[in-house]
Amino acid sequence: MRLNVVQQFLPSGLRLVGLVIVLVTGSHLALAQNGAIRGTVFYQASADAKPEPRPGVEILILRQDIKGRLTTKTDKKGGYFYTVQAFGTYVVVAHGPGLRYQVKPPVRITSTEPVVLDITVTPGDGTLPPDAQLLEEAKVGGTPTAPPTPAAPPEPTPEEKEAAAKLKAERERIEKENERARNINEQLRALMESGNAAFNRKDFAAAAEDYRKALALDDNQPGFWGNLASAMLEIAVRHYNAKQRDEARKAFQESGDAALRAVAVNDAQPADKRDPGYRSKAAEAYRFLAELYADVEAGEKAGRLYTELADIQTDSKKRQEMKVRAGDSYRFAGKFKQADELYRAVLQEDSNNIPAMNGLALSLLSSDPELLDPNKAGEAIALFEMVAAKTTDPNLKQSAQTNAEYIRTTAKEIVRPKPGRKRN
């Protein structure tokens, strides 16, 4: 109604001007839709560096829904603020010399409240793709964040270089040793299989040769030493039975020495992993040397080994057996005092132990071959008589009777032990 009144009192030209003014004013009020984008740009020089605000970074703001391109820069604190003249969808890009450009995903501005977009840039070549490519990257989530270029490591000192060279050389040495060990293990496995196969078909010479080859590769193998000892013992017995006494003695010696090496290597292992069988093999070979060749050193070794075996036995019968064998070994070596002590220790545990009786009687006889000591002669006769009365072995019975008769007819004087008398 008011417009009509104005039209009535003003000339027609003035009415037109007044109408235009009203329309322009109304259009201005309709476009007043300002928004803003603000944030901070950080620069991260390397993966382990702390991001710091970066001044002077170029900020490119692109309108996504219509064409539009706005630019600004970050201030000395790395911040930026830009007022946009219309609501809409915008894409923000940070770039600059020496930087890798960073595109943020699109943001929708629908109010006068500023949208906050912080950006982290990293070192790069400073290139910036065309706007169309930037808008496409924004659609798929923005520029993928690439890890910052790591900071160059400091130049190592001469000492560090020397230490690194030594470490490299040590690693190479260890790798070579490991490769050598792998090759050796394969060869050892093959030699063990071939050696055992030869042993089982009684080709003891071939078996011994394979075991020696294995020990040339690795002499820290108690199993190969023990197997060599077994093979050489079989060879020694064959030679001896064939009356090849010198060859037999060498084979007995090699058997005992190989078994003793097995004992030494085996004893270096934890107690629960030690095998007493190696001591038995060594003791047996050395006992043969002492008995068949009167080898004093071998007899003493056998005596010590059998004594050690006796000490670890939990079964009394087995313990007594090992002590008797130790006594026999010392007797063969001419060590009659040690032999007598072992036999008497067994007889104190079991007065009916026939091997101990016979061994003690032989030791007394051997220690006084001319039968000059009437006490020894008397005790030896008594022991031989008990052996002959108790044994079920006809050969041992005959031997004991013969020895007793020899003492009776040879000794000038015989003093028989009184009942219950103990000899120390």
User: Would the pLDDT of 5 be above 50?
Assistant: no
Exposure letters 110-149 (e unless 16+ CB within 10 A, then b): eeeebbebebebbebeeeeeeeeebbebbeeebbeeeebe
Q: How many CA atoms lie within 13 A of 59 on its CB side?
A: 27
Kindly report, residue by residue over 351-407, the tens digit of the pLDDT.
Answer: 999 999 999 999 999 998 888 899 999 999 999 999 999 999 999 999 999 999 999
| Helix 336-349 with 354-367: angle, nearest 10 deg | 150
Token pair belonging to 293: 């060749």
Whether the Cβ atoms of residue 57 and residue 73 lie closer than 8 Å to each other: yes
Q: Vertex 325, ends 320 and 330: CA angle to 5°?
A: 125
User: Where does residue 420 fall: left (phi above 0), alpha (psi -120 to 50 degrees), or beta otherwise?
Assistant: left
Kindly report, residue by residue over 248-294, the tens digit of the pLDDT.
Answer: 999 999 999 999 999 999 998 888 888 899 999 999 999 999 999 99
Token pair belonging to 366: 């051997």
Kindly report, residue by residue over 106-159, the tens digit of the pLDDT.
Answer: 988 888 888 898 999 999 999 999 988 888 888 888 876 655 556 677 888 999
Whether the Cβ atoms of residue 232 and residue 258 lie closer than 8 Å to each other: yes
Rounded to the nearest angstrom, the gap between the alpha carbon of residue 131 and the centroid of all alpha carbons in its chain is: 60
Whether the Cβ atoms of residue 348 and residue 364 lie closer than 8 Å to each other: no
**Cβ neighbours for 362, distance < 8 A, ≥ 6 positions apart:** 331, 403
pLDDT band at 64 (very low <50, low <70, confident <90, very high): confident
Residue indicated by tokens 């036999």 = 343
Whether the Cβ atoms of residue 36 and residue 80 lie closer than 8 Å to each other: no
- How many angstroms separate the CA atoms of 276 and 285, rounded? 15
Q: What is the DSSP string of 184-225?
A: HHHHHHHHHHHHHHHHHTT-HHHHHHHHHHHHHH-S--HHHH
Token pair belonging to 391: 């044994």
Kindly report, residue by residue over 306-359, the tens digit of the pLDDT.
Answer: 999 999 999 999 999 999 999 999 999 999 999 999 999 999 999 999 999 999
Beta strands 88-95 and 58-63, pairing class: antiparallel
pLDDT band at 88 (very low <50, low <70, confident <90, very high): confident
Token pair belonging to 231: 């093979």
Q: What is the pLDDT of residue 225?
A: 96
What is the model's pTM?
Answer: 0.59
Domains with residue ranges and CATH for the chain: 1-32 (no CATH), 34-139 (2.60.40.10), 178-293 (1.25.40.10), 351-424 (no CATH)
Q: What is the pLDDT of residue 420?
A: 53
**Cβ neighbours for 15, distance < 8 A, ≥ 6 positions apart:** 6, 7
Stated as kind and residue range, the H or E segment containing 120 is: strand 119-123
Kindly report, residue by residue over 95-104, the tens digit of the pLDDT.
Answer: 999 999 999 9
Kindly report, residue by residue over 223-240, the tens digit of the pLDDT.
Answer: 999 999 999 999 999 999
Q: Could you give the 3-state DSSP secondary structure of residue 53?
A: strand
Whether the Cβ atoms of residue 109 and residue 90 lie closer than 8 Å to each other: yes
User: Counting every residue, how long is the chain?
Assistant: 424
